Chains A and B, each alone.
Chain A
Amino acid sequence: MDSEFEFLRRFEGELSARARADARREASPKPTYPRRWKPWLAAAALLLVLAAGIGALASSGLSGSESSMAAGGAQVNERNPQPLVPSASSAPNSQVKSGLNGYTLGSANDAGSATQAPDVQQNDQPGSSGQPADLSKIIRDGQIAVTIEDGTFKAAAGSVAHIAAVNGGSILSSSTEGGDSGSFTIRIPAANFDKAMVQLGQLGTIDSSASQGQDVTAQYVDLKAHMKIYLSRRRVLFGLMDKATTIGQSLTLQNQLDQVQLKIDQITGQINYINKQVAESTIKVDVHEPGAAVAESPDSIDNPSLGRAWDRAVQGLLNVVAATLIGLGYLIPLLIVAGIVVLIVRSVRRRRVADDEA
């Protein structure tokens, strides 16, 4: 370069050196750069840990809200969950068949109620005092473990039976071990639940005591609503049946009536089951003398077991995977939005630079 400016000549020298170096680099076989997988691996691991954390938080938050929703002021019985309603086959058959159609037409105000089991209605009629009926349906169960004095197990077992009897209940099952400990399951009217628990506790020293309440009010209200609809439908079908003029019409209506009656029977059985569950409580009583082997139900025995450890490990792994998936569910939409924003910003910046350069 023939420039009169020294600094321009110097810069040209440096630029040429750089260009020649780049040219040599371009000409030589490209070195294989180590893959930059470590930062990506670290980022992925960080993302997964973050997702697992978020998933765990979200899971705990969800389970907390679920249990509080289910509890409804009463503790949910998790140790011994029972089906709330029986299957249709287990429902007591309360229908009364007579006449040409096989059904009894009820009274004008609510014909169907005449064919229902009486206890369907018994728990939600206004009381004799004129107070509105308490519609809440809560199934109450309890467990109690009591240590009694040496040599008094037989007497204590008799006392358990006596307590069940005086509270209007009975012993459903019992098991004894070595003549100094035993386990009893008693059923008593729900109204006497608290009283019975106190009396059982007085047999000796209470080791543990717990009670659970399962709120089935919502299910009960739903069943009652369905019952009302089906009863109304049945009344209409009866009316149509009276007006049927041909055998074909009668058969069609009869078929529909059969189906409606079947539904009514199923719902009646479910309502009766809930009423029965609510009306009676189950108490599991463990009584043992000091030093006696406690008679435990098989599911409460806690022996070390490789199989169980393996099951727990698998369960833990699945929990972590599930938490990670939940966390990714939260993170991925955020990452997509962030990616779009970054792309837009980069695009705008490039366009601005290109405009400037143009």
Chain B
Amino acid sequence: MDERSDTELLLASRAEPVAFVELYRRHAEDVLRYFARRTLDPEAAAELTAETFAEAYASRRNYRDTGTNGVAWLYGIARHQLGRFFRTGMIDAAARRRIGIAREALPADDYERIEELVDLAPIREALVEALGTLAEDQRDALRLRVIDGLGYQEVAQRLGCAEAAARQRVSRGLRRIAMVLQERGLTLATEVE
């Protein structure tokens, strides 16, 4: 167990790249949760997490110790990624390409686990209202999954589609809702930093 602080790890990672991996181990799940609660979309959250760490690794030499915890710098990159996601609706993969890490599909098990990270209770009312802005298939999928709390297998049976398709409809619906709520200035989740 590396006992160096986040700042020390970041500074050390300039000459000792492996030190950055320890930083990743410490904060990867927190960053994932951060994105999941803001995007409501497991796929987007996973992609944004990977891109954030890739960007941090690629630009670790630019980090300057300003007296604050090094992890604040990491969340600065995360906020930047999130802002771009909400502005464009797309997730960049430039940093991953730069360091030679391929984009990968999110495993099904991870998908549901990430959903569990999202505490939907505080936004349930806003969700119901935002549902009206969705396409019908997405709205049905979301209602079954988020409001009725059914598993994806059951959602797929109810909708008469494959489980992957059901997951995709839920994912797109949640992403759309997250954007609508973001536009309305609603805070979707508590801070994790």
Contact = CB atoms under 8 A, between A and B. Distances in A.
A18 B72 CA distance: 24
A22 interface: yes
What is the size category of the interface that chain A forms with chain B?
20 to 34
Contacts of A14: 101-102
Interface in B13-30: 13, 15-18, 20-21, 24-25, 28-29
Contact of A356 (B13, B18, B79): B79
Nearest to B105: A7
A12 interface: yes
A135 interface: no
A6 B57 contact: no
B35 interface: no
A6 B107 contact: yes
Nearest to A11: B50
Nearest to B46: A7
Contacts of A3: 28-29
A7 B44 CA distance: 13
Contacts of A5: 29, 32, 46, 110, 113-114
B49 interface: yes
A10 B104 contact: yes
Interface string A1-42: 101111110111011101110110010000000000000000
Interface in B51-79: 53-54, 57, 72-73, 76-77, 79
B32 A8 contact: yes
Contacts of A15: 20-21, 24, 53-54, 57, 101
Contacts of B113: 4-5
Given A18-B101, A19-B21, A23-B16, A7 B53 contact: no
Contacts of B100: 18
Contact of B17 (A26, A353, A358): A26
B2 interface: no
Given A7-B46, A11-B53, A358 B72 contact: yes
A357 interface: yes
B102 to A, nearest CB: 8
Contacts of A18: 17, 57, 99-101
Interface string A338-358: 000000000000000100111
B25 A12 contact: yes
B89 interface: no
A3 B117 CA distance: 13
B15 A26 contact: yes
Contacts, number: 81
B153 to A, nearest CB: 19
B110 A6 contact: yes
A10 B50 CA distance: 10
A92 B28 CA distance: 103
A354 to B, nearest CB: 8
B134 to A, nearest CB: 26
B83 interface: yes
B106 interface: yes
A23 B18 contact: yes
Interface in A94-134: none
A8 B21 contact: no
B125 interface: no
Contacts of B106: 7
B109 interface: yes
B80 interface: yes
8 contacts: A3-B28, A5-B46, A5-B113, A10-B104, A15-B21, A18-B99, A356-B77, A357-B80
**The 6 nearest A-B residue pairs measured at CB:** A357-B76, A19-B17, A22-B17, A356-B80, A19-B18, A14-B101
Given A357-B76, A357-B77, 18 more contacts: A5-B29, A5-B110, A5-B113, A8-B29, A8-B49, A12-B21, A12-B24, A16-B18, A18-B57, A19-B20, A19-B21, A23-B16, A26-B15, A26-B16, A356-B79, A356-B80, A357-B73, A357-B80
